[in-house]
Chain A
Amino acid sequence: MNPSGKTILIIDDDADFAEALGAALEAAGFRVLRARDGHQGLKLAKLEAPDLVLMDIIMSERTEGFFAIQEFRRTPSLASTPIFVLSSLYDAVADFRVAPEAGWLAHDAFFSKPVDLEELIRAIRQRLGLNAAVREGTG
């Protein structure tokens, strides 16, 4: 089922979080892909060209998410794919002294974990230019 016609890739090492988030997005009419780390996510993204990526920034107790975003930006076909960063630890992200607006990080929005699902879905729709009619259509 993919009434919106849009695909979202979730990159998160917490399988439960990805499962719950994915279920919510599917219910909202998106096609959902899941990857458990940045490496796998990048591979999947190259194959499937998702419309938007939701990326956990502190994966596997490390800063892998940063490198993954960098790799996305360096890949021509993915350079302009919107990336929303999700993290339970934005303070720690700030520790790396990389401001979200810094060029190389270049993610579109930041959401704190646990995510307000309604707010997230609204932001995704807005970013992908989906109008309210699609929402009505998904029920």
Chain B
Amino acid sequence: MTTEQSERELAGVGCQAPAEQAPPKIIVIDDDSAICLACRKILLKEGYQVQAYEDGLRGLEAITTWKPDLVVVDLKMPGIGGMEVLSRVHEFDPHIIIVVITGYATIDTAVQAMKCGAYDFLPKPFAPDPLRLIVRRGLEHRRLVIESRRHEMERELIKRRFVSFISHQLQSPLAAVHQYLEVLRHLEDSPETAAKRREWLERCLKRIAELEELIRDWLTLAKAEERVLVAQRYPIDLRPILQGILNSYEQMAAAEGIRLEARLPEQECLVWGNRHCLNVLFDNLIVNAIKYNRPGGRVSVSAQPLGDGQVAVAVSDTGVGIPEKYRRFLFEEFFRIPRQEGEAKPGTGLGLAICRKIVTEMGGSIEVESEVGVGTTFYVRLLAPPETAEGRRARLEQTA
């Protein structure tokens, strides 16, 4: 039950289907019934939902119950005036857009209204067009304000979660090591305890190594975020990079009976990138392809210039595959596919987040195709170097 629950939770992250957008709601308040009716008619024709009131108090009441997006209000009315409506509305909701209608269009009253939070003003008499225009602009303004507030809240939430999550990731291994050491300190010296002692010390070292890896990955990610990693780009031949990584994992793959294949072009395969970044990127993808493979499986790496200024690289495995429901979370920081006990592999959950960051920073893209039980392929697109005189010179310098 709990797994399902958290999957649902996860599936809900950032993927809320946009609700069918209802037309914006507008309230018009003007004691002049002719203006009230005219505004209502014009705005209804624009497709908005409109309510019109000739009385300020009734208008205010409607604002608190109907919650409009925008209010058009006459500044000078008997009883409650426009200026008071203005302040009362913003007490209720500071993001409702208010357009004031003013019969005595002096700069002063307009300025005063704007100071009190009005978005814009319409001097009487006015034609339909300025009304339409101001309303449209006001609604667009409201949409942007709401959107940026939402983004800010989302960012805040992600930041808060990230901090508490990373703390947990750092604290768990520390707590385990701490607890082992405390038990070891009280452990009597005897032949029976010697094996335990050794085993626990090994476990401590392993947890510390994992912690170090996590910190290293996290720093790489932070650097990628600061655009430090890809600040300097050169034309770089992908073939030696890919071949080098494959060679370095030859033994690790052989131990699992996994075959490593490279299908690389005869001629240079240049991309516009940073050597360190490219190494980190393909190291991550190739290690994953080995790690999540099956015994006796195959990892194949291919690279191909596309001739349209892009280079395509594919890293495929014949492994367990990635269930469709998890694919869209794959590149998220700390996302790890829930696995059965015994199937879990060590890892920080940051590898693919780093890959995406690097690829994006280099102006490329990364995509995944997968079939459960058959295998997974990561498709990376990178930019070929712009063939300028400078580029050629840099290339010559690099290869020299």
Contact = CB atoms under 8 A, between A and B. Distances in A.
B179 A115 contact: yes
Contacts of A36: 341
Counting chain A CB atoms within 10 Å of each CB, which of B165, B171, B207 scores highest?
B171
A101 interface: no
A83 to B, nearest CB: 17
Interface residues of A, number: 29
Contacts of B178: 114
A89 B168 contact: yes
B179 A89 contact: no
Nearest to A40: B341
Contact of B176 (A16, A27, A61, A68): A16
Contacts of B173: 16
A92 B169 CA distance: 13
A10 B321 CA distance: 34
A39 interface: yes
Nearest to B5: A67
Contact of B180 (A16, A64, A88): A16
Interface in B149-193: 160, 164-165, 167-168, 171-180, 182-183, 186
* Interface of chain A: mostly helix, strand, loop or mixed: helix
Interface in A49-73: 58, 60-64, 67-68
Interface string A1-43: 0000000000000101101110110010000000010110000
B183 A67 contact: no
A19 B203 CA distance: 10
B179 A17 contact: yes
Interface of B: 1-2, 5-6, 160, 164-165, 167-168, 171-180, 182-183, 186, 196, 200, 203, 207, 334, 338, 341
Interface of A: 14, 16-17, 19-21, 23-24, 27, 36, 38-39, 58, 60-64, 67-68, 88-89, 91-92, 95, 113-115, 117
